[in-house]
Amino acid sequence: MSYEGSSIDPARPSIARVYDYLLGGKDNYAVDREIGDVFKRDLPGSVAIAFANRAALTRAVREIAKTTGIRQFIDLGSGLPTADNVHQVAQRHAPESRVLYVDIDDQVLVHGRALLEDNHRTRVVAVDVRNPEGIRSHPATLELIDFSRPVAVILSAILHHVNDDEDPAGIVRYWRDQVPSGSYFFLSHFRSGNNPETMEAEKVLQQTFGRGRWRTDAEITSLLDGLEILDPGIVPAPLWRPDESDGPWNSGESRQLTVWEHLIAAGMARKN
Ligand code: SAM
């Protein structure tokens, strides 16, 4: 692969590739695996967090596709292609679903174009989530998303990579104002546990990527200001509408969660 003209840098760890490594993917370099191994060694629950997050996202997309009639999704900070991507989950239940994938990482663009744009209902764009107008006015967005009809906006494990002074609430507010009533938002976010694990994890992320903000339930809730937060509220991801059929990560109600599984929160909200 040529790196010319692209910001893919195999010498520096990327959030997307480290996350891919934690999920057992292969789209990562030695430098990502090195950091991933630090996470695994010092933060042994980070793999559980990644899987719990992905499973909650899958349940949310399935639920939206099955129950709301929404057929268009914007997946902000979508990550590298993985086992069950948003369009695959949505199209399994509603084949006409359209998905716009957005990520800042050029590798997501390269691999995404190959693996996520597998039909004319999916597009991948490399735009910073902190530039919502850039996403909104992108030709792929204009082509794929009809803003006169309800949209599902997916903010899965992305806003904790946006620092307070970069106005994460403003990002949600922007999309809330762009989409019509009946639109849904799904959010997952590192959840501050006020414990040594949170502090250590926050330190590793800050040192590695210069960003990574754990927020309290109240802070996460306030990111969804002006939207109706649906049952069961903002809760640890394994407890967000668990479904045993999805595998062991989703059996939160029937067993004690580990301290790690408490460190990722999930919630869904609707614009009324
Ligand atoms: N949403 C996926 C999920 O929940 O499984 C992937 C989450 S992964 C932890 C975070 C993703 O956000 C990475 O792919 C990273 O490249 C992307 N990201 C981080 N900062 C971003 C930004 N400012 N704009 C767009 N994407 C960003």
19, 22, 163, best to mutate for ligand 1 pocket (most atoms within 8 Å of CB): 19
State in Å: Cα 158 to ligand 1 middle.
5
Question: Which residue puts its alpha carbon closest to atom 5 of ligand 1?
Answer: 54
- pTM reported for the whole predicted model: 0.93
What b/e readout covers 55-91, taking b as 16+ CB neighbours within 10 angstroms? bbbbbbbbbbbeeeebbbbbbbbbbbbbeebbbbbbb
Residues 75 and 129: beta-carbon distance below 8 Å: no
Residues 34-88 have pLDDT tens digits of 999 988 888 888 898 899 999 999 999 999 999 999 999 999 999 998 888 999 9
- The answer as to whether 227 is a domain residue is yes
Number of independent structural domains in the chain:
1
Nearest atom within ligand 1 for CA of residue 75: 1
Residue ranges of alpha helices (H) inside 43-105 are 46-67, 86-93
Residues 145-178 have pLDDT tens digits of 999 999 999 999 999 999 999 999 999 999 999 9
Query: What CATH number is associated with residue 208?
Result: 3.40.50.150
Q: For residues 43 and 258, what is the distance between their CA atoms, to the nearest angstrom?
A: 12
Nearest atom within ligand 1 for CA of residue 79: 14
Question: Which residue puts its alpha carbon closest to atom 20 of ligand 1?
Answer: 161
- The answer as to whether 162 is a domain residue is yes
- The answer as to whether 5 is a domain residue is no
Q: Which residues, including other chains, have CB under 8 Å from residue 119's CB and lie 6 or more apart?
A: 87, 91
Model confidence at 254, pLDDT cuts 50, 70, 90, reads low
Nearest C-alpha neighbor of 173 from the set 157, 155, 146: 155
Q: Which of 22-26, 148-152, 232-236 has the lowest mean pLDDT?
A: 22-26
Domain that holds residue 161: 15-270
- The answer as to whether 7 is a domain residue is no
Look at residue 125 and give its three-state secondary structure. strand
